[in-house]
Amino acid sequence: MEIKFLTEPALLLENKVLVIADLHIGIEYEIFKSGITIPSQVEKLEKRIDNLIKQNKAKHLVILGDVKHQVPTISWQEYREIPKFLEHFKIKISIIKGNHDGNIERLAPKEIDIYDPPGFKINNFLLTHGQAWPFLGDLEAEYIIMGHVHPAVEFWTENFRTIEPCWLKCEIDNEKLFKKYRIKTQIKQGIIMPSFNHLIGGMAFNSKDFEPLGPLLKNEIFKWKKAEVYLLDGTLLGSLKDLKTK
């Protein structure tokens, strides 16, 4: 089964399925309420996705949750922008509902497939948002791919600190999955995707204050403490357990 990491925070599966996570359209409205005005970024999101679709000749766009940002309601910005955003793309679209996606059905065109948070399976890839136990079924799979936690790593010196988004590749504890599902699995790897929206920031996994979110991390189904850490440009930083914390 083929999986390709792209130069953006996106994956290409089977040379045709483009996967992204955590768009959080409407976050500008929340920032505005805090006293800071930022122009809508939805057109930039569209352009970035358009480029990925064109460059990779993708036929199917999968969004791993948190299309919208406001919880639990729908903001005026989301009402205005999300339907047009989803209508913009002329390929098949599937959405897995994230914890921010209450009532997303009211905003999405009818032809879009919307799945509950556990997600769905494409060939040997289990796709899920991350705040709920994933759909597993009784079929073989090699990968679980999730979003939700906006992974990042923290760098600092005495006078400087920065947080950079990253990919995490994790081993899977199939024995713990069996205890949960009573189904034998031989899943090779878990992949945690960075947020596609640059305004979101990230959770620094190498901070001593980091607390795992969602059942796959809390129950260490994803062995995230020993994850391989990659920056968005492909730089391998090594194992998370070897990165300094502060």
2-22 mean pLDDT: 95
Give the separation between CA 210 and CA 204, rounded to whole angstroms. Answer: 7
| Domains of the chain, each with CATH number or no CATH | 3-242 (3.60.21)
Concatenating the DSSP letter of every residue in 164-212 gives EEEEEEE-B-HHHHHHHHS------EEEEPPPSSGGG--EETTSTT---
- Quote the pTM value: 0.93
**How far, in Å, CA of 96 to CA of 129, rounded?**
6
The backbone torsions φ and ψ at residue 7, rounded to the nearest 5 degrees and listed phi first, read -70, -25
pLDDT tens-digit profile of 36-85?
Answer: 778 888 999 999 999 999 999 999 999 999 999 888 888 888 999 999 99
Res. 125: pLDDT tops 70: yes
- Residue-wise pLDDT for 166-176, tens only, equals 999 999 999 99
What's the confidence (pLDDT) of residue 127?
Answer: 96
Cα–Cα distances (Å) from 25 to 21, 70, 131, 168, 207, in that order, read 11, 9, 19, 24, 27
198: amino acid identity, one letter: H
* Predicted confidence (pLDDT) at residue 244 exceeds the cutoff of 80: no
Average of pLDDT values for 183-198? 93
